[in-house]
Structure 1
């Protein structure tokens, strides 16, 4: 029998009501299929979904089948997010290398677009992970009223309330919430201290020698190191000038 979701309260009363925000450069851009008109705009939406869920997706991490279904209108953005959350990359990167509490924190940030309210909320969602598994937990988040009201079927989740009432901005989730917790960072050997003994210099592109520039052959010329004949130290008194002067032989 599955354990019902435990009750938890928001961390403050301010989150119960919609906030009034003045748009500025910190306000995230909203990507939605409701106003997609070109292929380029669909590419931007897909990249925004990858950034939200993976922070960065390498070529091997991309879900080509899901992308094709989204482009052809076979699935919605919410189903695309579900596919990314249940993908091998997401499971290996966030579930297998974190505790349930840490995994819950990552998923709430990425799917619901906010920080967890308290430790009690982590415990509540961790119980869902324990009883329903990862798929059941992801379905609970995507089917929640909070997700439907804020993102619906066609909006890519984003970090909500980046702008605080004081005018300051919250840090992005990927910066203040590392992918691995302290335990697994220690097992993987992070952070690593690398001592660099070679000082690297930077040369602007406009000052870089072009093809055919003599500066490109300077190193090669210096590497040859030719050794010539050293001058002989002979006294002028020991030179027979008469024999050194050429003359015609008969």
Structure 2
């Protein structure tokens, strides 16, 4: 794959090195433009996180009414709807002074962080592949938030994930057999230990493995598992029951972004 073309400029320095017998071209970008793009990605992640949370909670793309307080249903001003900042500044609903759930802030920050981590991946891909990866990760965020809210995802969501993965699968056609074997292994684990993994989790692992080089798939599995263990440990420290089922798709999405970083570093 060819890298994104940049306009000739002294602000860019091409550093060429060799690693594992492959020529690697690393673009060191001028700080201002790098920070500007990362700020755009940060804001995009926060906006998507806020929008997806709204979609999942209301289960609709269309909402005729203005955004309103969940408690007293007072219409909210635009300044009260800014992702991340509104939760930090207000902390409570400005109309009835009820506490705002910290989950909104955490989801928006998490989405922003994943988009920032995605930046090195996007600049190393061709424009068409960068667009597909952006769309796929954006869709996966919706799946993750839906899983956070309902502890499930629908088959149509997984099917759309598969359709989006087909384009990237063309880069790794040899992965089909590996993905099938991975899915069978994970399904076997579910049969033996049904509380360890969900059916949607095993299918999503298999789908995403189609879009990664084989050497990055262990990174996907390991990072997802580690994220899940950290989540359980944090819940235990906060006094929550460790027997409660946790939504694992957010962990898979986090692992997928880390695997992309490993694959396209």
TM-score by length of 2: 0.25
Larger radius of gyration: 1
Higher relative helix content: 2
- TM, length-normalised to structure 1: 0.26
Which fold has the larger relative contact order, with Cα–Cα distance below 8 Å and residues 6 or more apart in sequence?
A: 1
